[in-house]
């Protein structure tokens, strides 16, 4: 049965409390900061998509120059506070820490980054000053990580920015698409406000491209346009039964948890989650934490090919989520219009596909899971229709850009998930920086 309000308020609070707690004290942060070797041309920095100078910011924590530390982080990544909570650091900075090669625990880089950035946000340190006005105006569509990052760089350089955001809050998938035990809605709000604190960035909420505003309008009123529109709904499974009541989109499911509150979101007794990416993990763990009795992750390849990290999978497993490898959904059976069973094909691994991973091949065998809810998390689909309508060159909805972040339309730039089809927040932040640099070049600044 699918129903909401399964747990007490105390249970919800406990289940959705911060999964990566901060340092309890300054002393604890200093002990960890002093453990850092201060590497040269550091592997951690090289493994950060935004290239944060990690040894420098950690050294600055150690010398109690917290303001300098926060400045170092935000100079490279204006969402450094959020990224410290949501980055899969085990495959980025912390995964590259040289301590791993000594079989020692890597430096807790994310935790230290959170330490410095949280103090900066709490104290409302504005660490950047806008240059004098350059007399230029840029429109940005989407107040997600790419858009905010682009806006901040542009504003620093004296450009007036207007962001058009279709939701009522900024932050994009950071605000709407990540498990609540990683970042709270309150934090996301604070982070957006902190970024906007520099001034010169006007955000117009509830304004959707193609509905409330047109690209032609933006092109006319602004000197350049940056599209950071992200990606849309979850990929369709294209199997029978997909329209049954109880089949939901993981992004929508997570959005509701974040937008409406834990007790309002209905969840089944027995839930199957299709996919094995970060979003699948976030959906599965949160279904369990909302009170589902059984949650099963269903993935068509093996553990070796999974897109999520070991750390993420461990979170799900520790929550009691079951995992079935080499299983592809074949059909969803229902009764009275409601989900009753998920039938899966048993797969085996064949030849490597375009991703280099061995592709799953149907063995012809099937098995059936009794479920009352199916959450689809097999990737997200770009806004193919919208992009097509705007006459922007694209590949299956993913916007095509050149080395200068420019689309085929002059003065229109793009970046982030809308271009790459969906990556980490930190990748989108870098895309925003690249976009801003390209726009400044275009504006001859």
Query: Using CB under 8 A as the criterion, which residues of the chain lie in contact with other proteins when the complex forms?
Result: 30-31, 34-35, 37-44, 46-47, 62, 96, 98-99, 101-102
Cβ closer to other proteins: 40 or 129? Answer: 40
The residue assigned the tokens 């003065």 is 411
Taking alpha carbons only, the member of 44, 269, 283, 92 closest to residue 182 is 283
The 8-class DSSP code of residue 303 comes to G
CA distance 99 to 279: 29
Smallest separation (angstroms) from other proteins to the CB of 42: 7
| Residue whose C-alpha is closest to residue 80's, from 50, 125, 38 | 50
Structure tokens at 322: 């079951």
> Backbone dihedral region of 49: left (phi > 0), alpha (psi from -120 to 50 degrees) or beta?
alpha
Specify the residue, 42 or 151, whose C-beta has the smaller distance to other proteins: 42
Least CB distance to other proteins at residue 103 (A): 10
Alpha carbon 245 to chain centroid, angstroms: 27
Tell me whether residue 76 or residue 296 sits nearer to other proteins (CB atom).
76
Q: Spell 334-351 as b/e; 16+ CB within 10 A means b.
A: beeeebbbbbbbbbebee
Q: Which one, 33 or 323, has the nearer CB to other proteins?
A: 33
CA distance 93 to 99: 12
Rounded to an integer, what distance in angstroms lies between the CA atom of residue 262 and that of residue 146? Answer: 28
Residue closer to other proteins (CB basis): 36 or 440 = 36
- How far is the CA of 301 from the CAs of 247, 346, 387, in angstroms? 22, 10, 31
* Nearer to other proteins (CB atom), residue 22 or residue 43: 43
Give the shortest CB-91-to-other proteins separation in angstroms.
11
Least distance in angstroms from the C-beta of 116 to other proteins: 17
**Of the two residues 39 and 127, which places its CB atom closer to other proteins in the complex?**
39
CA 432/CA 438 separation, integer angstroms? 10
d(CA 1, CA 288) in angstroms, rounded, equals: 14
Q: Least distance to other proteins from the beta carbon of 101, Å?
A: 4
Closest separation in Å from C-beta 59 to other proteins: 10
Shortest approach of other proteins to residue 292 CB, angstroms?
39
Minimum Å gap between C-beta 276 and other proteins is: 25
Closer Cβ to other proteins, 38 or 205, answer by number = 38
């Amino acid at each position: 049965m699918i129903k909401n309000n399964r747990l007490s308020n105390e249970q919800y609070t406990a289940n959705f409390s911060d999964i990566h707690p901060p340092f309890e004290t300054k002393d604890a942060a200093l002990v960890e900061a002093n453990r850092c070797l201060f590497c040269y041309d550091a592997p951690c920095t090289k493994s950060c998509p935004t290239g944060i100078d990690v040894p420098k910011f950690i050294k600055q924590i150690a010398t109690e120059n917290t303001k300098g530390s926060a400045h170092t982080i935000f100079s490279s990544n204006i969402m450094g506070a959020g990224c410290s909570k949501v980055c899969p650091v085990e495959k980025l900075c912390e995964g590259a820490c040289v301590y791993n090669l000594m079989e020692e625990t890597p430096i807790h880089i994310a935790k230290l980054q959170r330490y410095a950035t949280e103090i900066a946000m709490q104290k409302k340190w504005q660490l950047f000053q806008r240059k004098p006005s350059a007399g230029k105006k840029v429109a940005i569509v989407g107040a997600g990580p790419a858009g905010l990052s682009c806006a901040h760089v542009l504003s620093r350089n004296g450009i007036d920015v207007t962001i058009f955001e279709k939701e009522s809050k900024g932050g994009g998938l950071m605000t709407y698409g990540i498990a609540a035990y990683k970042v709270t809605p309150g934090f996301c709000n604070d982070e957006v406000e902190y970024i906007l604190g520099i001034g010169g960035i006007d955000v117009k909420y509830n304004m959707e491209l193609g509905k409330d505003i047109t690209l032609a309008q933006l092109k006319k009123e602004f000197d350049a346009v940056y599209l950071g529109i992200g990606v849309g709904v979850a990929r369709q499974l294209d199997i029978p039964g997909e329209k049954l009541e109880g089949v939901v989109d993981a992004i929508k499911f997570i959005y509701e948890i974040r937008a409406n509150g834990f007790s309002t979101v209905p969840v089944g007794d027995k839930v199957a989650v299709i996919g094995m990416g970060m979003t699948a993990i976030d959906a599965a763990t949160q279904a369990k934490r909302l009170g589902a009795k059984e949650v099963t992750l269903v993935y068509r390849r093996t553990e070796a090919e999974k897109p999520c990290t070991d750390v993420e999978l461990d979170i799900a497993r520790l929550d009691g989520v079951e995992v079935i490898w080499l299983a592809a959904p074949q059909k969803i059976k229902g009764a009275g219009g409601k989900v009753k069973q998920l039938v899966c094909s048993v797969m085996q691994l064949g030849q490597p596909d375009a991703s280099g991973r061995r592709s799953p091949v149907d063995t012809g065998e099937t098995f059936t899971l009794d479920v009352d809810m199916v959450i689809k998390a097999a990737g997200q689909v770009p806004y193919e229709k919208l992009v097509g309508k705007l006459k922007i060159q694209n590949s299956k909805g993913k916007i095509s850009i050149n080395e200068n972040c420019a689309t085929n339309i002059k003065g229109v730039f793009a970046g982030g998930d809308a271009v790459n089809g969906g990556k980490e927040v930190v990748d989108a932040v870098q895309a925003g920086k690249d976009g801003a640099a390209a726009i400044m070049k275009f504006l001859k600044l």
